[in-house]
Amino acid sequence: MGNNINRLLVEHIDLWSSADVEKRSGRGRVSVNSSGAYGISKLKEVILCLAMTGKLSIQDSNEEPALDLIARFTQQEKDGVGINHPSKKESLGIDNSPLPNGWGWVKFGDIAQHNSGKTLDKGRNQGILKSYITTSNLYWGRFDLSELREMPFQESELEKFSAEQGDLLICEGGDAGRAAVWMGEKPICFQNHIHRARFYGGINPFYIYRFFQKLSVTGEINQYRKGVGIASMSSKSLASIPIPLPPVAEQARIVYRVDQLMVLCDKLDASCENAQNFHESMVLEALDPLVNTRDAGIDSPAWQRISSNFDELFSSAKSVTGLKNSILGLGVLGRLTRNNFDHMDESHLYDQLRLERSRLISLGLLKEKIQFIDFDGLNSLKGHIPHGWCWVRLGEIAEIVRGGSPRPAGDPRFYDGHIPFLKVGDVTRSTGKMVEGWTASIKEAGLHKTRLVKGRTVLLTNSGATLGIPAICDFETTFNDGIAAFINLSEFVFDEYLHMYLTHLSSWFLNIAAQGQGQPNLNIDIIRATWMPLPPIKTQHEIVSKVDEILEICSSLQARMSTAGELQRKIADALIEQALI
């Protein structure tokens, strides 16, 4: 079987290293299934599954069978270890699944003394201050001791609540089942949300540790987790877990072989990550001149370099997303269209805009607000734009208003009527430019508590983690205060151009412009003060058309990548299933 697993690893190296790269977590205590590539995580899964069925190791008929070993030890008391003795050898046979010769099914409670740690209560606890391990110190296969806490322990408690070298520590809650073997030279205390297991009969704790990894990657551990919200694994549940136990010497061979293969997987994973990082850097380097160089139009050397290396550059979903963002940036800077406005300067367009505002104000259709706030990062938006364009504030092209909600929420006097009432989720759920529907409605009695806008209105979310997301609503609607609307839009502004520019600014809104502590917030004054490059209306239509055309190509490319990724995952799963037969 050793040669088979080698072939499985080597012959399909491209599949393991390319099947659907996942986003990594920032912490190391997450599931062992969180490595970078789907293929590599599946390969680790099959290694653990094969190990726990004896398909990675050689069986030796001369070695003492596992159940004989345990039966022998149940006939005598071990030094200071309270054993949960089975009454008969036969009682250990708890699973009908076939195992190799010399192996046997046992319950966790039959092979280990185990207990949870000391409850944390500094106010009541007395004794000697001792450092102790919490679940935040326990990672898969290792401990982080950089931030240990202290708690008083009585001398009589230390034996029960201390881990010694070779003890297996297992998380009770959260990522229940997460485990590591304590190999410190000195004992260490542990809290009540950690189980300590001390094995007898020479059972290898590293074998049991790998077994818990296998339970985690396959999801079998969920059978032993209970509770609402944060599931936990009680001592009773832990004791009931069936374990396929090989002879002691074979346990060591399995641990050695799994360690070898996991090192290979980790090297492959690191190699994939390095290649991915290099590729991302290469894409950024190629795209940067397009946005940050003045002469980077569709005929520029930068475009030519991208065109000639397109397949190599844009071979991942993330790189295509980067291309989409760059396309938006290029569009609003006039670098996707040819601009011929030698007869017009920027003051001409701006003067037309001001005349229009003055007329609307005189008619009482627009409120006169000419003061704009300033804040860090605002002027970074302004750069070189083509001749005939001008820079304007968003508050100069429309009146920007915030919605509202009838109170109390859900009051039948106001809600569940025939008038659409948009929430932030209705805007952010849109897959294209348009709002695709609504999930709430109000009655006419609630209109005085919110705002009604006509169809074809540009909306922008302005609070929470999803602020800065625009959409165009083409039906008459009301909306809550998590949404801002651009009403009385200038005739010199194409609403889809405004939508495109707001989409381009989404990350800027969230990371730079948003104000407030805790939950980000975009107040109306910030939105009004934001700069926008404004071309003549005809050019706006040309830009939107060109950007839509290119983004459609990008979306098709991403769809093909998604289909290919799904196929790779299915192939990886099929290979895993075949290997486990």
Confidence of residue 84 (pLDDT cuts 50, 70, 90): very low
Q: How far apart are CA 462 and CA 468, in angstroms?
A: 6
Over residues 478-486, the mean pLDDT reads 96
User: Is the per-residue pLDDT at 209 higher than 80?
Assistant: yes
- The pLDDT value recorded for residue 173 is 78
Which residues face 473 on adjacent strands?
A: 457
Which residues face 162 on adjacent strands?
A: 189
Give domain status of residue 288, yes or no: yes
**Which of residues 23 and 476 earns the better pLDDT score?**
476
Give domain status of residue 207, yes or no: no
Give domain status of residue 39, yes or no: no
- The pLDDT value recorded for residue 569 is 65
Whole-number mean pLDDT of the chain? 80
Give domain status of residue 388, yes or no: yes
- The pLDDT value recorded for residue 184 is 92
Residues 436 and 486 reside in one and the same domain: yes
Of 392, 400, 482, 478, which Cα lies nearest the Cα of 438? 478
Residue 78 in 3-state DSSP?
Answer: strand
Q: Which helix (H) or strand (E) holds 8?
A: helix 2-11
- The pLDDT value recorded for residue 553 is 78
Q: What's the CA angle centered on 119, arms 25 and 140, to 5 degrees?
A: 25
Residues 435 and 377 reside in one and the same domain: yes
**Which of residues 106 and 268 earns the better pLDDT score?**
106
pLDDT digits (tens, 9 = 90+) for 229-285: 667 899 999 999 999 999 999 999 999 999 988 888 888 777 766 666 665 565 556
Q: Pseudo-torsion of CA 302, 307, 310, 314, nearest 10°? A: 50
The residue segments making up the domain with residue 521 are: 346-534
User: Is the per-residue pLDDT at 430 higher than 60?
Assistant: yes
Residues 443 and 400 reside in one and the same domain: yes
- The pLDDT value recorded for residue 344 is 56
Confidence of residue 294 (pLDDT cuts 50, 70, 90): low
- Which CATH number goes with the domain that contains 414? 3.90.220.20
- Which of 187-201, 331-345, 470-484 is modeled with the greatest confidence? 470-484
Residues 519 and 551 reside in one and the same domain: no
Residues 351 and 332 reside in one and the same domain: no
Over residues 198-217, the mean pLDDT reads 92
Residue 520 in 3-state DSSP?
Answer: coil
- The pLDDT value recorded for residue 490 is 94
**Which of residues 553 and 65 earns the better pLDDT score?**
65
User: Is the per-residue pLDDT at 31 higher than 50?
Assistant: no
Residues 401 and 481 reside in one and the same domain: yes
pLDDT digits (tens, 9 = 90+) for 498-520: 999 999 999 999 888 886 555 67
pLDDT digits (tens, 9 = 90+) for 553-565: 777 777 776 666 6
Handedness of CA 148, 151, 152, 156 (dihedral sign): negative
Residue type, 505: L
Q: How far apart are CA 217 and CA 359, in angstroms?
A: 67
Question: Inter-axis angle of helices 248-292 and 317-332, to 10 degrees?
Answer: 20
8 A C-beta contact, residue 230 and residue 173: yes
Give domain status of residue 581, yes or no: no
pLDDT digits (tens, 9 = 90+) for 312-347: 556 566 667 777 777 888 888 887 776 655 455 667
User: Is the per-residue pLDDT at 12 higher than 60?
Assistant: no
User: Cα–Cα distances in Å, from 209 out to 30, 51, 168, 184, 272?
Assistant: 15, 12, 7, 16, 27
Which residues face 399 on adjacent strands?
A: 487
Residues 379 and 356 reside in one and the same domain: yes
Of 155, 492, 175, 520, which Cα lies nearest the Cα of 355? 492
User: Is the per-residue pLDDT at 392 higher than 80?
Assistant: yes
pLDDT digits (tens, 9 = 90+) for 350-378: 888 888 888 888 887 777 766 899 988 89
Residues 366 and 505 reside in one and the same domain: yes
- The pLDDT value recorded for residue 332 is 87
Q: How far apart are CA 416 and CA 444, in angstroms?
A: 10
- Its pTM stands at 0.58
Residues 317 and 288 reside in one and the same domain: yes
Residues 304 and 438 reside in one and the same domain: no
Please, which residues have CB within 8 angstroms of residue 580's CB and are 6 or more apart in sequence? 46, 49, 50, 53
Residues 293 and 399 reside in one and the same domain: no
- The pLDDT value recorded for residue 21 is 45
Give domain status of residue 115, yes or no: no
Residues 408 and 521 reside in one and the same domain: yes
Please, which residues have CB within 8 angstroms of residue 116's CB and are 6 or more apart in sequence? 172, 192, 193, 194, 195, 196, 235
Q: How far apart are CA 419 and CA 475, in angstroms?
A: 10
Percent of the chain's residues with pLDDT above 70: 73
Give domain status of residue 108, yes or no: no
Q: How far apart are CA 539 and CA 494, in angstroms?
A: 10
**Which of residues 47 and 580 earns the better pLDDT score?**
47
Domain tally for the chain? 2
User: Is the per-residue pLDDT at 295 higher than 70?
Assistant: no
Q: How far apart are CA 499 and CA 7, in angstroms?
A: 53
User: Is the per-residue pLDDT at 451 higher than 80?
Assistant: yes
User: Is the per-residue pLDDT at 87 higher than 60?
Assistant: no
- The pLDDT value recorded for residue 514 is 80
31-45, 72-86, 309-323, range with the lowest pLDDT:
72-86
User: Is the per-residue pLDDT at 175 higher than 70?
Assistant: yes
Percent of the chain's residues with pLDDT above 90: 40
User: Is the per-residue pLDDT at 124 higher than 60?
Assistant: yes
Give domain status of residue 86, yes or no: no
Confidence of residue 33 (pLDDT cuts 50, 70, 90): very low
Round the CA-based radius of gyration of the chain to a whole number and report it: 32
